[in-house]
Amino acid sequence: MAAAGALAFAASAATAADLTITSWGGAYTASQQKAYGEPWEKKTGKKIHWENYNGGLGEVRTQVTSGNVTWDIVDVLPHEGRVGCDEGLFEKIPSDKLAPAPDGTSFDDDMQVPRPNDCVAPQIWWSYVPFYDEGRAKANWGDARPKTIADFFDLKKFPGKRGIHTWPNALIEMALVADGVAIKDVYKVMDTDEGIDRAFKKLDEIKDDVVFWSSGAKPLELVKSGEVAYSLAYNGRVGAAILSEGEKFVPVWHGQVLEEEWIVILKGTKNLKTAMDFVKFASAPEQQAGQARFINYGPMRKSAFKIMKDGEPWFHNGKTISEHMPNRPELLDISIVASPEWWADNGDEIKERFEAWKAK
């Protein structure tokens, strides 16, 4: 209740910038600022105001329905990119307003996956991936090391606490693959009630040894401190710790769940033209590749991936980045590509069931 009042205040405190972009903060926002925020500011002479949020469309819906839009551009999860478009919270971004590939390939053909609707512009691929600390692995597991997602659910072979997030996305998929479902059949199995039962039964196997996290930095802390032996995390966080801080973390890519990330323009923004110009700039191949200099989230455009690969060592501190990209071609066969459509349809129900499971 107080949130509504607080929002009214936040709204009135908007700054005098030409464009307000809301994203997730931390190293991720920093990569956006360096890769295309600052270059765009230099190019146009306009000023960007960056805000952070924790996801969810609650604030977006409040702004759009109240007609008081202070965020122009928001960085959204795949599910929200769809729901928000269905609900009319975003402006349309026609394909011909987006930049083609350098070799002239049209924007639509340059995408690794087609856009789900014409509200979203490409940002990056990211993933939920399990990882452990090599520095502690010997003490925990001797010479054995996990290789597949089944090992994440195998407390006998790999004892120690497991870190998982507090919502069911990706966990259901991983549990099923760990239980022997072929990666390509995951969503077919999830469409049946037995499939969901099966996933929860698999989750039961680790339940007593689970530590939950909800913010992206937490799993790194948990693994680093030894609080948990093996945790799921956002691949970008793990990569950043390895690439920039020299941590000895090891991601186990088999069974990772790949998710899209999009940018959208809020319906009713007063800066529509500026926002459109920015989105075009930010989603162009050069800028997409440029972002990979600062964070190991994978570009969604084929041409951007190529620019990055040809430019190796591409990371800003002189390290190679390709092997940290969640969507590199050799991983695609062992990765689950999340289905936001399935989650839009079933997410509410599964979330409730997951809560009931947690509390039991």
Partner 1 sequence: MAVTTMEDPASAPGEILTADGRPLKASLQRSLRQSKLRAAGLVAIPFLFLLFTFILPVLDLMKWSVDDSQVNEVYPRTFAIYEQWDGKDLPGEEHFKAMYQDIANATGLEIGQTSTRMNYEKSRWKSLLKVSKRKIDKYAKANPDFAGPYKDYMVSDVHKRWGQPEFWQSLGAMKDPVTAGYYLNAMDMKFDFEKNVVAQPEDRRIYKMLWWRTLEISLIVTIACLILGYPVAHLLATLPLRYSNLLMICVLMPFWTSLLVRIVAWMIMLQQQGVVNDSLVGLGVLSDENRLPMMYNYTGTVIVMTQVLLPFMILPIYSVMKGISPVYMRAAQNLGATPAWAFIKVYMPQTLPGVGAGVILVFIVAIGYFITPELVGGKDGQMIGNYIAYHLKSSLNWGLAAAMGAILLTAILVLYWVYDKIVGVDNMRMG
Write out the residues near partner 1 by the rule CB under 8 A: 1-5, 8-9, 54-59, 61, 83, 85-88, 161, 166, 210-212, 214, 225-227, 341, 344-349, 351-353, 355-359
d(CA 48, CA 41): 7
Rounded least distance, CB 114 to partner 1, Å: 15
What is residue 91's three-state secondary structure? Answer: coil
Q: Which is nearer to partner 1, 88 or 313 (CB)?
A: 88
Q: Which is nearer to partner 1, 56 or 329 (CB)?
A: 56
Q: Which is nearer to partner 1, 244 or 339 (CB)?
A: 339
Count other C-beta atoms under 10 Å from residue 307's C-beta: 20
Rounded least distance, CB 119 to partner 1, Å: 11
Cβ contacts of 102 within 8 Å, gap of 6 or more: 285, 286, 303, 307
Q: Which is nearer to partner 1, 8 or 144 (CB)?
A: 8
What is residue 234's three-state secondary structure? Answer: strand
Rounded least distance, CB 1 to partner 1, Å: 5
d(CA 346, CA 223): 31
- Please calculate the CA angle 324-300-110 and round it to the nearest 5 degrees: 135
DSSP H stretches of helix in 209-321: 218-224, 235-245, 272-282, 285-291, 302-310
Rounded least distance, CB 306 to partner 1, Å: 34
d(CA 34, CA 87): 32
Rounded least distance, CB 248 to partner 1, Å: 18
